[in-house]
């Protein structure tokens, strides 16, 4: 099954700054997904990242705030721009490739705290 | 658009008793259904899935789930609970039809607590 690595695993950031989260998959995948999770709560899909095209954002998420790059079939980045305390959350990268073609595998997550 | 509901925020069960965690869904086409588990300070782990075939699917750690099309449900079950089953459980759905056919939507989560 696919193995997904994310970094940083956690960070403390200042209000108004931006942070880029990196996601590396150990195999080629067509689609990658970025989710956000408040600790102990549900996952909310931010966007779908396809290689060679712009990311598709879910309602409530915009490219200016969460720009995504997908330069190749094994890598993606999510930037959280102009951060505020409301952006404090766990950001999860995922891709299909675990336990069968239809199963999403997740990275361990990046826990961001914005002061 | 697809949606999934977990009506119980928390389920409390005594060790050794059977457990059920409820999930209902809504899709326009045929559903792909999943259960994931999240232990404290750990990532999401896949438990089981229903794509097609037998309505009763078996997964990791002795868990199983029953797909019920008429009730649009996919409840997670285990015959005998263990204290180590205590965790946060998420039901998820993917609609095999439409413009959003590739994405998976998660329920709100149910915290399962097994008392010794």
Map tokens 């930037």 to a residue.
A79
Nearest to B35 by CA among B15, B44, B27: B44
pLDDT at A53: 81
Q: Read off the pLDDT of residues B51-107 as tens digits, 9 standing for 90 and up.
A: 988 999 999 999 999 999 999 999 999 999 999 999 999 999 998 776 666 789 999
Contact A33 B104 (CB under 8 A): yes
User: Are B49 and A101 spatial neighbours (Cβ–Cβ below 8 Å)?
Assistant: no
Q: What residue ranges of chain A have pLDDT lower than 70?
A: 97-101
Of A41, A98, A103, the CB nearest to B109: A41
> Mean pLDDT throughout B110-116?
96
Confidence class for position B22, pLDDT limits 50, 70, 90: very high
pLDDT at A87: 96
Mutation pick from B45, B57, B106 vs chain A, by most beta carbons of A within 10 Å, is: B106
Q: How many CB atoms lie within 10 A of CB A115?
A: 9
What is the percentage of chain B residues whose pLDDT exceeds 90? 80
């Amino acid at each position: 099954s696919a193995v997904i690595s994310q970094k940083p695993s956690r960070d403390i950031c200042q209000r108004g700054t931006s942070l880029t989260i990196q996601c590396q998959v150990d195999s080629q995948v067509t689609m990658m997904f970025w989710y956000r999770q408040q600790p102990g709560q549900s996952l909310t899909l931010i966007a779908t990242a396809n290689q060679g095209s712009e990311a598709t954002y879910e309602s409530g998420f915009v490219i200016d705030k969460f720009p995504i790059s997908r330069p190749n079939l094994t890598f993606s980045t999510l930037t959280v721009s102009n951060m505020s305390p409301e952006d404090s959350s766990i950001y999860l990268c995922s891709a299909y490739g675990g336990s069968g073609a239809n199963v999403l595998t997740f990275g361990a997550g990046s826990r961001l705290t914005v002061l | 658009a697809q949606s999934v509901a977990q009506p119980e925020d928390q389920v409390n069960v005594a060790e050794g008793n059977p457990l059920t965690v409820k999930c209902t869904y809504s899709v326009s086409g045929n559903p792909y259904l999943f259960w994931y588990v999240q232990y404290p300070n750990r990532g999401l782990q896949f438990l089981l899935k229903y794509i097609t075939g037998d309505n009763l699917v078996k997964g990791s750690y002795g868990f199983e789930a029953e797909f019920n099309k008429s009730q649009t449900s996919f409840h997670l079950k285990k015959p005998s609970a263990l204290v180590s089953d205590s965790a946060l459980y998420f039901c998820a759905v993917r609609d095999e039809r439409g413009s959003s056919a590739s994405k998976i939507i998660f329920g709100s989560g149910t915290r399962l607590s097994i008392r010794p």
